[in-house]
Structure 1
Amino acid sequence: MSAGQGAAADPFVRLEGVSHVYGGAAALKAGTGTLAVDGLDITIGRGEFAAVVGPSGCGKSTLMKLATGLQFPVGGTVSVAGEPVTKPVKIAGMAFQAPNLLPWRTTLDNLMLPLEVVEPHRRRLRWNKAEYVDRAERLLASVGLAGFGDKFPWQLSGGMQMRAALCRALIHEPQLLMLDEPFGALDAFTREELWCVIRDLHQRTGITVVLVTHDLREAVFLADRIFVMSARPGRILVERTVGIARPRDLEITYTAGFQEIVHELRGHIVEARR
């Protein structure tokens, strides 16, 4: 399917004609900037699970930062939930390849950190701490970390730390979850376990998810639609709907239909690198 087909009927995340330069507007003005993305168009529906793949350095992480208001484009428009993105998006949660848990905080206290920053939770936290602690403990239990709230990061395995980081991204009940290579540093078995954690979270909450990944199997297993980006400056070359029924289990990854989609995407990325 070519870019632009199959666009979501209920747009939740939309980038239209977006261009961005490494270093932002100042680098552009000084003439020292390099285009990260150019003419980037992408639309993701409310409740959809989208994945973005492409060659290294194609602007996948830049797309994530633009969609969450961590950076702003030098051209084009970005909107989330129908509102122009002019500041960090409060209704978004983010998880990265490194869990980045604060070593002096327990797992539970690490989860509570966004609540100390994001309004209106910041104001409510002092008077409703027990309610928030209960929410955090339920989140931990949902990813298999019941009873680990009092542990410090160094007492958790890499996979457990990533589970905790996912809970931290979800603690303020965001409407949008952005995942930037969250499982890249994990072993294959742990990575597949966490695919199932994310699958179940998405199915249970209906949250909109955008996943940036180099792992094509991961993209096909998790996503409703996959966007393939060109080499830098990045733009969408191909949009591929994953026609595999949900719920999906790991056995599906060994089927011919699954492998065909993976090989098709690999072919697009090979072409994109040329």
Structure 2
Amino acid sequence: MHVPGFVVSKYRGEMSDPFVQIDRVDLRYGGAGGVLAVSDLTLSVNKGEFAAVVGPSGCGKSTLMRLVTGLHLPQSGAVTVGGNRVNKPVSIAGMAFQNPTMLPWRTTLDNILLPLEIVDKHRHRLRKHRAEYVAKAEKLLATVGLKGFGDRFPWQLSGGMQQRANLCRALIHEPELLMLDEPFGALDAFTREELWCVIRDLHAVSGVTIILVTHDLREAIFLADRVFVMSSRPGRVLNEHRIEFPRPRELDLIYDPQFSRKVQELHSEIADARQAA
């Protein structure tokens, strides 16, 4: 499935310098005697690249997300995004999580516009240029198949529709980096696969850098240019896999024997990481 009107481009990250760099990072929760969540964590993601992070439960995948967005700061090592060392929340990042957390008293459109009330770049011009931002939000809604649903409240939308709106909210302020933390994990298989195609096409036309954390190995392989496999806690990168399937990828790829072999390869690495804990 392609989003109507989308022209799919090739992955553009290979020619770029790293846009996200995590360099030998340690992070411990709860002070000196607390839990060491990640240790010597190192990885880099190029501008325009789609990267996925997989690993055993509790390996520090979500900690990695918080480090990159500046919600947590490392005790040692460094995190750099867009050439700037991260020492506060990263304003050029958009985030989407498993739970869409839409405010029930706001319409879908007003939920999507919410980040514009927070991000300095947009907050000061939102009132004067509201019509411009509303038009942008409505265009995003049409892109993800929700044209005409801007006046609906969250409780009037299915789970899949809420997650589509959640993606619009993450993109409304035109972030350079999109962080996806298990965004499709709570959805049924058919809806999940539909949204794989939506995010595939959004990435293709926008060129936004994406980091996806997921337990779904099929999802990682279908969407990503590279997949990073993390160890058990304390998390570090054990291996990275370049995904060579050509783009654009269609859903029937998941039934290809080579695709299945790649899923099994990742599964075996994660199983070994769990046993080594």
TM-score range, shorter chain: over 0.9
The 5 A counterparts of 1:62-81 are: 62-81=63-82
**What is aligned with 1:158?**
159
Counterpart AA for 2:47: R
Let me know the Cα RMSD of the aligned residues: 1.2
Counterpart AA for 1:204: V
Counterpart AA for 1:113: L
Query: How far off is 1:144 after superposition?
Result: 0.2
Q: What is the rounded CA distance, in whole Å, between the counterparts of 2:175 and 2:214 in structure 1?
A: 21
**What is aligned with 1:4?**
none
Query: How far off is 1:9 after superposition?
Result: 4.8
**What is aligned with 2:18?**
11
Q: Give the conservation status (yes or no) of the 8 Å contact 1:229–1:236.
A: yes
Flag structure 2 segments of 5+ consecutive residues without an equivalent. Answer: 1-13
Query: How far off is 1:119 after superposition?
Result: 1.2
Output the TM-score relative to the length of structure 1. Answer: 0.95
The 5 A counterparts of 1:106-121 are: 106-121=107-122
Q: What is the rounded CA distance, in whole Å, between the counterparts of 1:145 and 1:240 in structure 2?
A: 34
Output the TM-score relative to the length of structure 2. Answer: 0.93
**What is aligned with 1:140?**
141
Q: What is the rounded CA distance, in whole Å, between the counterparts of 1:22 and 1:215 in structure 2?
A: 26
**What is aligned with 2:60?**
59
Q: What is the rounded CA distance, in whole Å, between the counterparts of 2:77 and 2:16 in structure 1?
A: 21
Q: What is the rounded CA distance, in whole Å, between the counterparts of 1:46 and 1:153 in structure 2?
A: 33
Query: How far off is 1:10 after superposition?
Result: 1.4
Residue 120 of structure 1 aligns to a residue whose secondary structure is helix
Q: Give the conservation status (yes or no) of the 8 Å contact 1:8–1:44.
A: no
With over 3 angstroms needed to count, the CA separation of the structure-2 counterparts of 1:53 and 1:173, relative to structure 1, is: same
Q: What is the rounded CA distance, in whole Å, between the counterparts of 2:37 and 2:16 in structure 1?
A: 28
Q: What is the rounded CA distance, in whole Å, between the counterparts of 1:217 and 1:194 in structure 2?
A: 13
Identity of aligned residues (%): 66
Residue 205 of structure 2 aligns to a residue whose secondary structure is helix
Counterpart AA for 1:199: R
**What is aligned with 2:214?**
213
Deviates more, 1:55-64 or 1:7-16: 7-16
What is the total number of aligned residue pairs between the two structures? 263
- Point out 4+ residue stretches in structure 1 off by more than 3 angstroms: none
**What is aligned with 2:49?**
48
